[in-house]
Structure 1
């Protein structure tokens, strides 16, 4: 039995997946792991090419694009290792990490999930987690709140400051959640179904880590090991999917009443921002950032109108609704 089952979801990622597996085979001890690739009905010839080049990988072929969560769970069901590593296809191994992660989990039985330092291609730091949308963050994005804190020169609590997050990423600590780009998890019965399948992609890692902590396990970030995460292609629907998935996560974790309050605050923020926008336009003080913010507000309002009722009517708080998934329809 391998120590680690590496589950990689693929969807037309032949080039980056090839690089990922190649770097993995070059750097890691081959006796430590098995590779399970779950393919979401790619049309780029991934299966034929990669299975021929790497005949030892276990290939799970799906008949449609099921999204990241469902595909990951399919891989987890087939895993035989003591630990499961959920790994993005667009990652590159630059140093051995599997043995260290497994040994850390062996020594720390209270840890349910482990993440390591993610790097950009230029080896600069990439955040492994950030502040997930919530009421507190929404309030701090309110124009009036920003004006008041600046006017009275009150220091921000740092809740949404990127500098504080970067500083925290320098040390090992318990994290609120970890990126699904590299998520090292115990393969025990309680985790057989890892991700909430209501999520097509994005925010599923946030909800999973919340569930792990609720089971009295710790979620730990360890910067002593590193891996490159390219970050994926920027698709037209990426921003929209991130937004609606974050809303679904807020709804599932905090409940309907909390979600409604959050949406109300978003609408209040929009009213304040629109008032300032009109004022800036009248006095001809609009800049490029004002215009970008205006377009983003329009996008958020459009998404709220389209997905607010879908989220609260079609999806359960917990657990997964099983036969549904929240996917942005760009049509």
Structure 2
């Protein structure tokens, strides 16, 4: 029996981009059996667009902005598919059979809990070599992945306190700890338009640093915890320093009581062997070594014309507010 698929898209004030994402998703050769859009309090007319143009899509508007992770958790518990597809409101499969190929891989490999699609950004950067065979990775990217529901139910939902970043790493570490695999499918391309709406680099740096520390407190085995906390702090501080003087480290330092409280609240460390395996994958299989913030290929790559949205449907780049 073929696995069924539900799709979850969280959105906030990206109506034009969401229109493209939904249109492309619904045009897949094997589209999801259900699609749910969680609107995190948009004020740009997204609701009116959804009601007028996508009446078959389940649209839920949250009364306030609760964050991306809370929206994804909400979508997971309110869908019924054997698999959960996650794409962003500004991302879509480049090929019409992309989703079908992801489902086929989960169907054929019962030990795989998640497949990570190959992400290509608007500036032409690509996360994995396109011709590579499937291989194990330490985490997927939120804007393009497919999850096996039964595996996620064993390890639990995302930590809502992470708010907006780092949830993929934490869940995948738990999946590895539970004996599952996370596999990259380099030939399945997802284009990420990376809309500038709502992106705040300073906030992203803060949450990257903060949430890495929370993950270590929550998941790292006790014998390795002190070393990993120091390593995580030093690594993130160095990345921030390379981008110029920042207040991020000071903000994270002030947030340490909160970091410890959240991490200890969710503390359920994985085994030492599983944790070391995950670290090894983070060093050898993740783009740019230990971070998916920078793709593997540094030189811009051209995309096939067929994968690009038509000029009329592509939104113009928006300025950050």
Partner in structure 2 of residue 101 of structure 1: 102
* CA shift in 2, pair 1:100/1:292, >3 Å: closer
**Runs of at least 5 residues in structure 2 that lack an aligned partner in the other structure:** 269-321
Corresponding residue SS for 1:188: helix
Deviates more, 1:44-53 or 1:200-209: 44-53
2:165 aligned to which of 180, 184, 202: 202
CA contact (8 A) 2:9 2:36 kept: yes
Is 1:251–2:214 an aligned residue pair?
no
* CA shift in 2, pair 1:58/1:262, >3 Å: same
Is 1:304–2:266 an aligned residue pair?
no
CA contact (8 A) 1:2 1:80 kept: no
**Runs of at least 5 residues in structure 1 that lack an aligned partner in the other structure:** 128-165, 274-288, 321-331
Corresponding residue SS for 1:301: helix
Is 1:178–2:113 an aligned residue pair?
no
TM-score (norm 2): 0.71
Give the distance between the partners of 2:240 and 2:93, measured in 1 at CA.
Answer: 40
Partner in structure 1 of residue 245 of structure 2: 295
Give the distance between the partners of 1:266 and 1:112, measured in 2 at CA.
Answer: 26
Partner in structure 2 of residue 85 of structure 1: 85
Partner in structure 2 of residue 29 of structure 1: 30
Partner in structure 2 of residue 118 of structure 1: 119
Partner in structure 2 of residue 158 of structure 1: none
Give the distance between the partners of 1:308 and 1:290, measured in 2 at CA.
Answer: 17
Partner in structure 2 of residue 227 of structure 1: 190
Q: How many residue pairs were aligned?
A: 262
User: How far 1:246 moved relative to its partner?
Assistant: 2.0
Give the distance between the partners of 1:293 and 1:198, measured in 2 at CA.
Answer: 26
* CA shift in 2, pair 1:300/1:82, >3 Å: same
User: How far 1:318 moved relative to its partner?
Assistant: 2.5
| CA RMSD of superposed structures (Å) | 3.2
CA contact (8 A) 1:169 1:223 kept: yes
Map 1:1-331 to 2 at 5 A: 3-30=4-31, 32-95=32-95, 96-125=97-126, 127=127, 170-188=132-150, 190-191=152-153, 193-233=156-196, 234-235=199-200, 236-254=202-220, 260-262=226-228, 264=230, 295-296=245-246, 299-316=247-264, 318=266
CA contact (8 A) 1:60 1:75 kept: no
Corresponding residue SS for 2:185: strand
CA contact (8 A) 2:17 2:89 kept: yes
Corresponding residue SS for 2:138: coil
Partner in structure 1 of residue 314 of structure 2: none
Give the distance between the partners of 2:98 and 2:24, measured in 1 at CA.
Answer: 12
Give the distance between the partners of 2:72 and 2:236, measured in 1 at CA.
Answer: 36
CA displacement 1:107-126 (0-9 Å, x = unmatched): 1111111111111225441x
Give the distance between the partners of 2:37 and 2:236, measured in 1 at CA.
Answer: 43
Corresponding residue SS for 1:304: helix
Corresponding residue SS for 1:225: strand
User: How far 1:304 moved relative to its partner?
Assistant: 3.1
Q: Which has the larger radius of gyration?
A: 1
Give the distance between the partners of 2:41 and 2:66, measured in 1 at CA.
Answer: 9
* CA shift in 2, pair 1:55/1:295, >3 Å: same
Give the distance between the partners of 2:232 and 2:141, measured in 1 at CA.
Answer: 25
